A and B are shown apart, each in its own frame.
Chain A
């Protein structure tokens, strides 16, 4: 059974305090790992797709990395507007188009 676990569940940072969010996964035949950002009352916003171990992608203050067992979302010098829930999801080769989501990490950045 495919599983995705995100940690921590919640994270409070001061503005400028860099940190990382973790996404551990167990999946048979990883097709892709996805990071999304979700603001309250809104749908998830696509951030990154990672396909193979060693791959890295960056967007502004965010950088996503992937190993064979986990992915990290690094947030460098976060700002209050980075506050949101960050969701990790995997797509397995046997699962068609279905995504398996983790529980998310609620990030709060205080000014």
Chain B
């Protein structure tokens, strides 16, 4: 149980284009989903928190207009990197929290490697 999937697993795009990454909880309903960014040999950096049906909460320094997050249902959240540039190249990972009282575990997806050329 508690499986989170991401699609695509890797993507290469040209500078100036937009890329959408999907995050799905496969066998549970996720009241809250999170998007992280990870640089090589570094720990995870939280970008934003999204709750189903409401606007995402972005961490300081994360551009809302550049990283669009939509949490359309209890099993799906999407991250769209708009007008991507080479500095946006990174490993993006989503996680989901099971919507049970007093349960705080977050389960992570396998990640999406974005390369902007």
The segment from A11-19, A42-50, A58-66 found at the interface with B is A42-50
Tell me the A54-111 residues at the B interface (CB within 8 Å): 87, 91, 96-99, 101-104
Q: How many residues of A contact B (CB 8 A)?
A: 21
The segment from B13-21, B82-90, B105-113 found at the interface with A is B105-113
Most chain B CB neighbours (cut-off 10 Å) among A45, A46, A96 = A46
What is the bound-complex CA distance between A98 and B46, given in angstroms?
8
Tell me the B87-117 residues at the A interface (CB within 8 Å): 91, 93, 95, 97, 104-111, 113
The answer to the question of B68 belonging to the interface, with a C-beta cut-off of 8 Å to chain A, is no
The answer to the question of B60 belonging to the interface, with a C-beta cut-off of 8 Å to chain A, is no
Structural contact, A91 and B104, CB atoms closer than 8 A = yes
Structural contact, B43 and A87, CB atoms closer than 8 A = yes
| Contact residues in B for A49 (Cβ distance below 8 Å) | 104-105
The answer to the question of B78 belonging to the interface, with a C-beta cut-off of 8 Å to chain A, is no
Write the chain B residue with the least CB distance to A49. Answer: B105
Knowing A43-B108, A46-B108, A99-B106 are in contact, say whether A104-B43 is a contact too (CB < 8 A).
Answer: yes
